[in-house]
Amino acid sequence: MQQSENTITEASSRGFSYLIARPSGWQCFTLIIALLVLIPLSTLAFAWLEPAWDIWRHLRETLLSRLLLNTLTLVVGVSTGTLLLGVSLAWLTGACEFPGRKHFSWSLLLPLAMPTYVLAFVSLGIFDFSGPVQTQLRAWFGRSVWFPDMRSAGGVILVMSLALFPSVYLLTRNAFRTQGKRALEAAESLGCTPVGGFFRVVLPMARPWIAGGVTLVMMEALADFGAVSIFNYDTFTTAIYKTWFGFFSLPAAAQLASLLVAMVFLLVALEQRLRKRMRFAQSRLAPQAERIQLSGSRRWLATGYCSLILSIAFLLPTLQLFRWSLEVFHEEFDSRYFGLLGHSLLLGLIAAVIITTVALLLAYAGRRHGDHLTHGLIRIATLGYALPGTVLAVGIFIPLAWFDNFMIDLAHSLFGIDIPQLLQGTVLIMIVAYTIRFMAAGFKSIDSSMHRVTTNIDEASRLMGLRGIKLLARVHLPMLRGGIFTALTLAFVDVMKEMPITLMTRPFGWDTLAVKIFELTSEGEWERAALPALTLLLSGLIPIVLLMRETDK
């Protein structure tokens, strides 16, 4: 046994030399996918070799300080809002018993199906000055009635908190479910009041899960483009878009993107550290602890609170989308809509198949080669989930544009002919960006299923003459059907909802539902944007159904 462990350690420490001397096809494939992620990141770093001083001077004098303040305000505000909403709702549904708890335990995940930019324009349509809420209030109480300004930092923070709190809720609820009544009883036995026990015992025990969820929310807030654009709230993502399409300066956009990448990677490092802590902080209590029975008015207050959040975050916006869709259905449901839907479905299907295939091969490569280098390359290959869409759009477009120009110059100098651009203005740029961005979702689903297949099955298959692709196709694929289906579904829905990548890299005239929503909401056409938004919402319900299977009813 000791000799076997020494052999594994020695092989892992020499992983790099093995890859250089005798690389396998699986390791070469993993290296290629990792390079696909590193190329846009390297492009952003090398953009600083020629700083766009004129644009940076303009940004510094007019916009940069506001960008920094707005981005910081958004991240702090949204993380605080999701912390309060997610933890309170997780405690109620995970550790307490009250009327409707079983229903709320899964229905509070429904806001995940609502893209932030959809919730943003629906909220403005409902609560803005000309919306039905303020109009009715003025009819009741006169024109002097006060209502908070939705087109403000507070408005965008509130909307994004309502859209993103399920990320904190889902992780934290799993922690509270294992504590339940026993954690408070242990605290009370030490002299704590119920409130004191909650803050001194229960919350510290769940801190890694809470912090992990909040970190994911902070990354989403940094990466958001659609909601802040609708609210006209300038952050780094909107500045990248405006620098490219407003100032027509890709280098300046790349330099702005590199600053955003630095912020995101700090959060990625924090999130990875918290995940390691979560692994060692698992409680050894029973999977389901006894719940706290709420009594009297507290039980109905809990029901009312959960109902209020669910209504504002999901039910009311969904009903408003249905109402608007019915009003414009005869005008919008035509060949143009089917063209948008066809483009979205086609992109989603192509990207989902490619992402799932690459993720399957990456997972199998990691199974075949257990050295540190291979697993390090796989981690690099799945880093795209942390990169905002605007960053990827800039980082991919620049090297592909360089390649196009290089091929045009080469053809002209060698053969004296003029050739068209090969990659710019094609769907290929979008597919590459989608693959990098959403690889992690596909990989995690397949890799988790791959770990359930024991190595004894591989050894028995090799004795029967099955190796490499044959082993993967004839043995692993039938056993990974659930993980593959989940990967396909998640990738398809993510691509359908993706806005900045599609908006910034699409070919001329290749509009999708998400792009149409951006164009219509930019003009204040909330009603006309409702039908494509409702379509995206219904497609987003698919992964929520998958998540519901993991929750108790």
Say whether 480 sits in a helix, a strand or coil.
Answer: coil
- DSSP symbol at 476: I
- In angstroms, rounded to a whole number, what is the distance separating the alpha carbons of residues 375 and 314? 39
- Amino acid at position 519, single letter: E
| Residue 486: partners with Cβ closer than 8 Å, 6 or more residues away | 445, 546
pLDDT digits (tens, 9 = 90+) for 446-469: 888 887 777 777 667 777 767 667
In the block, tokens 């990098």 appear at 436
Question: Crossing angle for the helix pair 132-141 and 116-127, nearest 10 degrees?
Answer: 20
pLDDT in tens, the chain (553 residues): 444 444 434 444 444 454 555 667 888 999 999 999 999 989 988 888 888 888 888 888 888 889 999 999 999 999 999 999 999 999 999 888 899 999 999 899 999 889 999 999 999 999 888 888 888 888 888 877 788 888 899 999 999 999 999 989 988 887 787 766 666 667 666 667 767 777 777 788 788 888 888 888 998 999 999 999 999 999 999 999 988 888 888 888 898 898 888 888 888 777 677 666 554 444 444 445 577 888 889 999 999 999 999 999 999 999 999 999 999 998 888 888 999 999 999 999 999 999 999 999 998 888 888 788 888 899 899 888 888 999 999 999 989 888 888 888 888 888 888 888 788 878 889 999 999 999 988 898 888 888 777 777 766 777 776 766 777 777 777 888 888 888 888 889 889 999 999 999 988 888 999 999 999 998 889 899 999 999 999 988 887 877 666 544 4
Ranges of each domain in the chain: 23-47+328-548
Vertex 49: Cα angle to 45 and 51 (nearest 5): 100
- In angstroms, rounded to a whole number, what is the distance separating the alpha carbons of residues 510 and 525? 20
pLDDT at residue 306, as a whole number: 96
pLDDT at residue 182, as a whole number: 66
- In angstroms, rounded to a whole number, what is the distance separating the alpha carbons of residues 196 and 203? 10
- In angstroms, rounded to a whole number, what is the distance separating the alpha carbons of residues 451 and 517? 40
For every residue of 190-232, DSSP letters joined together read TT--HHHHIIIIIHHHHHHHHHHHHHHHHHHHHH--HHHHHTT
pLDDT at residue 485, as a whole number: 86
**Contact present, 260 and 64 (Cβ < 8 Å):** no
Residue 163 CA, chain-centre distance (Å), reads: 12
- In angstroms, rounded to a whole number, what is the distance separating the alpha carbons of residues 483 and 503? 30
Vertex 495: Cα angle to 159 and 344 (nearest 5): 105
Instruction: Tell me the two tokens of residue 517.
Output: 């929503």
For every residue of 295-335, DSSP letters joined together read -THHHHHHHHHHHHHHIIIIIHHHHHHHHHHHHHHHHHSSH
Q: What's the pTM?
A: 0.84
In the block, tokens 């909802």 appear at 497
For residue 100, the surrounding DSSP H or E stretch is none
**Nearest residue to 356 (alpha-carbon basis) of 438, 468, 285:** 438
- In angstroms, rounded to a whole number, what is the distance separating the alpha carbons of residues 213 and 207? 10
pLDDT digits (tens, 9 = 90+) for 226-283: 999 999 999 999 999 988 888 888 888 898 898 888 888 888 777 677 666 554 444 4
In whole numbers, what is the pLDDT of the chain averaged over residues? 84
For residue 46, the surrounding DSSP H or E stretch is helix 25-46
Say whether 238 sits in a helix, a strand or coil.
Answer: helix
- In angstroms, rounded to a whole number, what is the distance separating the alpha carbons of residues 154 and 151? 8
pLDDT at residue 121, as a whole number: 94
- DSSP symbol at 293: E
pLDDT at residue 299, as a whole number: 92
In the block, tokens 């958001």 appear at 224
For every residue of 386-444, DSSP letters joined together read GS-HHHHHHHHHHHHHHHHHHHHHHHHHHH------SSTTSHHHHHHHHHHHHHHHHHH
CATH architecture observed for domain 23-47+328-548: Orthogonal Bundle (1.10)
